[in-house]
Amino acid sequence: MKSFTYQRADSATLAAAATLKPGAKIIAGGTNLLDLMKLQIETPSSLIDINRLPLDKIEDTPDGGLRIGALVRNSDLAADPRVRQRYGVLSRALLAGASAQLRNKATTGGNLLQRTRCYYFYDITKPCNKRSPGSGCAALAGFNRIHAILGTSEHCIATHPSDMAVAMRALDARVETVDREGGTKVIPIAEFHRLPGNAPEIETSLKSGEIITAVTLPPPPPGVQVYRKVRDRASYAFALVSVAAIVDCTRGRIRSARLAFGGLAHKPWRSARAEQRLTDAPANTATFNAAAKAVLEGARGFGGNDFKIALTRRTLHSVLAETTRT
Ligand code: SF4
């Protein structure tokens, strides 16, 4: 392992400033970063530990939403009574992620910033544009069972691994940041994660010199909330396909719907067209088919992951049947 310096940050602005140093990395729970360091995929020159900053509170906001500090642990967020009662989709998504031990350490901010689990990204003997820009993408013609079918590029077909972020996308969360001068910014989660394009190494809109301080949730939308995760084993596995759904349906008619998907793209995926197909429509197979068709518009398999197209369709049908059952 390459040697690195370690410092504890005294304030969020100092932590933000410290990230401007070449090779500097923020560490919070460390559940992803330490693995990456052990494999020499991340080789920071310095670690800035933010665990002592006062960013571990969950607070009500005046509009009826919640403000979640960046250092709130995944377990604490999932167990918070307000999250369980008003944002069930988020609580379930968190509990579907990782293992109990990891959830006890992993933080809200770190969860948003975790790196892909593409096998080739973790194998330094293989080409990977995300790890080593310009080297190629071994997954395109390789073993790509877990890879993306939407929003891909010829440079990268990796997926974003978070469950939490998928629920937050359905909830229209906003990411709050601070920079080295104390300037704050609010980034809608839809704009926080990026598609790979020709620069898959840039995964979020977070700039150097900025750190995440909180995530805010607007008041919960009306409707039944469901998080469904399909994976290779019942726990401690990443999603092949996941759906976060919030569907408001009365007497067989859908009034509104929000759908976000995990396991399909480089970022939590949302389809406005699919939601339009569901809005003010009867809750029946034809409507569900139209929504699935809209979600999968432009979907492309790469061999090993072709099955995700049919799996997404079936999973969405099942989730819509559950959320519209009267
Ligand atoms: Fe690297 Fe992305 Fe290709 Fe995986 S899919 S090998 S992360 S470039």
Residue 186 lies in a domain: no
CA distance 108 to 58: 11
Residue ranges lining ligand 1, Cβ < 6 Å: 116, 118, 120-121, 128-130, 137-139, 156-158, 200
Residue 69 resides in a domain: no
Ligand 1 mean position, distance from CA 43 (Å): 19
Query: Does residue 256 sit within a domain?
Result: yes
In a domain, 275, yes or no: yes
From the CA of 144, give the closest atom in ligand 1: 5
> For 145-174, how does the pLDDT look when each residue is reduced to its tens digit (9 = 90+)?
999 999 999 999 999 999 999 999 999 999
CA of 75 to the centre of ligand 1 (A): 30
Ligand 1 centroid to residue 126 C-alpha, Å: 10
Best residue among 130, 132, 150 to mutate for probing ligand 1, ranked by most atoms within 8 Å of CB: 130
**CATH at residue 318:** 3.30.390.50
Distance 17 CA to ligand 1 centre (A): 30
pTM of the full structure: 0.98
| Interval 240-287: pLDDT, tens | 999 999 999 999 999 999 999 999 999 999 999 999 999 999 999 999
Print burial letters for 135-162: b (CB count within 10 Å at least 16), e (below 16): eebbbbebebbbbbbbbbbebbbbbbbb
Give the count of alpha carbons within 13 A of 90, CB side only.
Answer: 31
Interval between CA 200 and ligand 1 midpoint (Å): 8
- Nearest Cα residue to 11 out of 225, 180, 215, 258: 180
List all residues 6 or more positions away from 310 whose beta carbon is below 8 Å from its beta carbon.
Answer: none
Residue 252 lies in a domain: yes
Domain that holds residue 274: 224-323
Domain count across the chain: 1
